[in-house]
Structure 1
Amino acid sequence: TAAYLQQLVVVSDIATDPLWADHKHLALPHGLRACWSMPIPSRDGTTLGTFACYYSQPRTPDSYHLALINRASHLAGIAIEYHRTRTELQAAEQRYRTLVERLPAITYIAEVGSLGRWHFVSPQIESMLGFSADEWLSDPGIWMRCIHEDDRQIALAAEKRVQETGELYQAEYRMCARDGRILWFRDEAKLLEAPDGSIPLMQGVLYDITEYKRLEDQLRQAQKMEAVGQLAGGVAHDFNNLLMVIQAHADRILGQLPQTDSSYADAVEIHNATTRAASLTSQLLAFSRKQILQPEVLDLGTVLTEVGKMLERLLGATITLQLEIHPEIGKIKVDRSQLEQAILNLAVNARDAMPAGGTLAIQARNVHFSETQVWQHSSLPPGSYVALTISDTGVGIDPDAQSRIFEPFFTTKAPGKGTGLGLSMVYGVVKQSDGAITVESVLGRGTTFKIFLPKCDEEAASGQSALAEPEKSTGSETILLVEDQAAIREVISAYLMRLGYNVLTAPDGEAALSIAATQQKSIDLVVTDLLMPNMGGLELATRMKHLHPETRVLFMSGYPDEAIRSQEGLTEDVEIMQKPFSMKSLAAKARSILEHR
C-alpha cells in the first residue's frame, strides 16, 4: 500500500484497521498487531520497494520513530541501488572480458615509450606470439624486442606523432613470435587522459594482418608479372615479324648461292643468329602466356622416362638422378615439347647450382586439393592435379631473389652464364596450361620446384603426328597469301611462286575476300596471319568457307591473343605456323595440308 500510495502508511492495530481486513488472518497468528511502512525511493524518484516495521502490540509512531523510518528507507534505497549497480557492472565487465578474449586480436593498455610498462594485455598474446600474459606484463622491454629490428622506428615514430598531435596511434610492423615465426600486425591505439606528471597510457588493439599482407604481396607480384608479360609479349610479337623477314631473305640467299661462294657462310651465320633470336622471343612469349601451344593428352610417367635419358647425359657423372613415378599417375593435357623444355630448364638450373655434385630428384604423383591453394607466385582452385617435383641439393636461392625468380632476364648467375629467361619460360608454360608452380629454397640446402597440372580424364595420345612429312614441297595449286606486313608478304609470295604455286596476295581479310569472290579458279589453300587490321584471319577463314568450302587454311602468327585463342574458330586441330619460320618449313606444311585435303 505504501509503495502504491507513494507515502507513509501507519496501521496502529492490524486487528481493527480496514486496510488489513482481508489479510489480518495472515499476521495475527504470528503475533503481529501494528505495521508502519514507508516506500523506498530511488535517486530518480521511482519506488524500489517498501520498508516496514511490525510490532507485537498496537502502537502509533511518534516523531522520533517517523524520522527513523524515513532515514532507514533512504539507506535501504542506497543499498539496493548500489547492489544493482554492482551487479550490472560485474555483468558488463564479464561481457567486455568475453568480447576482448574472443576477439581475433590482442587488446592492451600500456605506458607510452619503448620501455613503457604494460598494465593489461589480453590472453591472445599467448596464442599469437607464444608469451603468456603474465610473462608479457612483467617485462617492460619485451614489446620492443619482439618488433622486427627493421620496423622498430616505425612503431616509435607513430608513438611520437600521437604524443605531439593527440591523433589515433596507427602503425603496421612485423613481430617475431617465440617460435621464430614473423607475423605482421596493425597496431591502433588511443592516448588516454593521464593526471599531471604521470606517464601517459595508450589503450589499443593489435590485429594480426599476416594473411592480408601475404595476399597483398601475391597480388602485387601477379600484377607486376602480368605487366612485364604484356610488355614481353608485345615486344616479341613485333620482333618476330622482323625476324621473319630476315630469316626469309637469308633462306632465299642460301638457296641461290653455291656452298663454295664466299657469301654463303655469311648467309648461314645470319640464319643461325635469327634462329637464336627466335629462341629468345619464344621464351618471352612463353612467359607472357601468348605462345602457341599444341596441347595433347600425355602420360607424365612416359615423358619423364624419356627425358630422364637425356638428363643422364646432361647432368654429368657428379650428379645423381633419382626418378620416382608413383603408380597410376594421372594423365595431363599440355604441349609435350614445351613441358620437356621446362623440365630441362629446371634440370640445367639444378646442375649449375651443384658445381661440386649432388642429387637431382624428380617425382611425379597425384594430388587432390579440397580447398583453394594460394602460393607466392600462383594459386589453384580445388580439384585433382598431377604434381611434378624437381629438387636439388645445391646452394639454394636467396629469399629476396625468390620473389623475382620468374621475372624475365632476372638471373642469379654470373654475366654470360644465362639469359634469365629459362624460369620465366617455365612459369609461362605452366600458367598457360592452367597449372601452378611454387619454389621452396634454403641457402646451402637446396631448392625444390613443384609444378601442378590439372588431371585429365582423356586417353593419352599415341605420340605420332597426324600428318606425315611430304616427300616434295613443290606444287601447282592456288594459294591465297594474306599478310599485313608487306616485307613478309613479298618474300613468302616469291618463295612459293618459285616452287610452282599460283600465289594471290592480299594485305588484310577484306582484300582477300574481294579476291576470292572474283577468282574463277578454286583457291586450294589460304595462308593468313591471325591478327590484321580491318579483318583478321579467323573471320576470313569463317567467311571463306561460304565462298570456297573445300579451301584449307594455314594460320601464321607472332602470337595469338588469349581472347582469339578461346574463340570457337581456333580449335586445337587448327594448323598454325609460329613466326619466325623457315621457308622450307612453310613449304612442307603447305604441301602436307594440300596432300591431305
Structure 2
Amino acid sequence: MSEDAAWHFDELHPDAYRMLVEGVPAILYIDRPDQLSTNLYTSPQIESLLGYSVEEWMADPELWKEAIHPDDRDRVLLANEESNRNAERYVDEYRIITKDGRTVWIRDEAAPVRGPDGTLLYWRGVMLDVTERMEVEEKLRWSLDVLRQTLQQRRELARRLQNAQESERQRIAADLHDDPIQAMSAVDMRLQMLAEYPDSVTPEAIAGIESEVRAAIERLRSMLFELRPAALDREGLVPALRVYLERRAKASDWVVEVVDGMTQEPDPDMRALLYRIAQEAVANAAKHAKASRVQVEALSAGDGVTLRVRDDGRGFVPDLDTAPAPGHLGLSTIVERAELAGGWARILSSPGEGTTVECWLPLDVATGDPALGA
C-alpha cells in the first residue's frame, strides 16, 4: 500500500473504533484492579454470549463472581487476586453460567495497563467462548480413556487365552498319557510276552489285544473330535454341531435340537470360533445347569452368523468378571473373543429361567461389525 493511500490506525474516527470493538466475536472489557474487578467497560457482545445486557453486567459488581461455575469459582477468584497483587498478565479458562442457565467455557485473558509512573491503572481484557473446543477435548479425553481400557482388556484377554491354551495343552498331554499311551504301553508289554513265549499265543490273547487297541483308537478319536471334528471342515458348522450335540446327549441324557438357518458358511476361522463358543456353552450347561433340554440355533444374519445356545437349566445371575475354569474359555472370554473377531456375544440368564448364550460373528474377518442384537 502506498503512503498516500495508507491510513493510520490512531486516526480512526471514534465510530470506527466502536465498529471494530463491537465486531469482534468476543467480549472486550476494562476492569479496575480491585478485589471485585469492578467493571469500567464491557462490549455489547456479552448479551449474545452470556445473555446479560451491558447495563446488567456493569450495575452489579458481584455478577461476574456469581456467574462463575461453583466448581471453578474458588480457583478463578484466587488466580484473579494473585494477578491483581502481582500485576501480571492474567490467563484462565473456566465455566460461566449464562443468564438462561447454560454452561459455557470462557477463555479469559487480561493485560495490565500502567500509568507513566508504573502504577497499575486498569485491566484490558477479552473473553472468548471456547465451549466447542473444550467439548471436543473432553470427547478426545473420553476416547483416549476408552482406548486405554480397551487395550488393557485386550492384554488381559491375551493373557487369559494364553493360560487357557496352555491348560488345554496340559490336559491333552495328561489325557494322552493316562489313557491311550498307558493302554498302548500295556499292549506293547503283552506283545513282548507273546514274542518271548510263542506257545502262549492263543486266539483269546490276540482278541484281548485287539480289544485294547480298538478301545485306545476310539478314545483317540474322541479326543480328536473334541479338538476339531472332521465334520467341521468336511460338512460345515451345523453338521458338526449336530454330531457334537448327539454325543453330549448320550452322556447327559438330554433332549437336544439343532436349528439350521444357515445359507452361507463362514470362513474356517470363524466357523471354528462359532463351534468353540457353542461347545463351551454346552459344556457349561452340562457342568452347571442341570438341564434336560438344549437347543442350538445357527442362523445366517446379514454378513455373518447368529448362534444361540439355550438350555432349560437352573440359570444364574451372569457375572462376566468371574474367572474361567482352567482349560475353558469361560463365559466372559466368549464375549471378549467374539468382540475381538469383529462380532458380539451376550449371556442371558436368571435363576430358574435357564441360560441363553447368543453371539454374532462375521462370515470373515473383513466383514463389518453390526449393532448388538441386530
- TM-score w.r.t. the length of structure 2 is 0.47
More helix by share: 2
- TM-score w.r.t. the length of structure 1 is 0.31
Rg larger for: 1
